[in-house]
Structure 1
Amino acid sequence: MDATLVAAVFEHLGSVGLPVCVGVPSRAVLQLSAGRVHLVERIRTLLVVSLGHGVVELDLAAVRSCLLVTSWGPHGPTSTLEVYDARSECVVVLTQLGIVGPGAHRAWEQMLESLPTA
């Protein structure tokens, strides 16, 4: 998946008002921010996303691959978009965490199903 597609996912979430949970993992902790995307801004290769009560910054030049993972959630299968760097380390995770309504869940799954597979 092209790194610019990650930016497009955030932009789409912001335009339709679909809440998302974004996790930024490290060796010791997974920092989460959840809510609606308020602002998506690109500054060269830096993607700045304001969502909920937090801000996530992602260097798109560091993105090498994405993996779509599905696990079981309250509304059935729930997908997570995992973004990896050149060292194959996960740098950011986008998912629906917690209880969201069935409509939001369907919209989330439809958006991820529409992403290109290569």
Structure 2
Amino acid sequence: MRPIRKLRGRPNRSLRRRLRDDRGVSILEFAGFLPILLVIGMAAIQLGLIGYGINQAGSGARAAARVASQGGDGTAAGQAAVSGWLSPTVPELYEDPDLTTAKVTVTVPNIIPLFDDVPISRHATMPTDD
């Protein structure tokens, strides 16, 4: 068997040049991909906020309809059941002898600067108590 020759001294010039040319490429690739990652992250957070707004609007509508069906102030109950930063409003509250219907609208703030805030409306109907 032949003995393995060890490289003595420095590697040849072409190897050094190739190693030197590859430096920093990965950070440039990451820097180019970073804006895409940020937009995807912000879109995921925005979708989560919209889901939360839908849940809060439904809860507010149920609370407003339940309280109004029992003869109370449905508007105040609907606004109290929703987080204040969503700016809840109860634009419609219909009461008749059999059913009470309430509609709650919330405004989800937008975290992506190019788009407007998202209004979300939900309604609920409860039987009127006698």
Give the TM-score normalised by the residue count of structure 2: 0.26
Structure number with higher strand proportion: 1
Give the TM-score normalised by the residue count of structure 1: 0.28
> For the pair shown, which has the larger CA radius of gyration, 1 or 2?
2
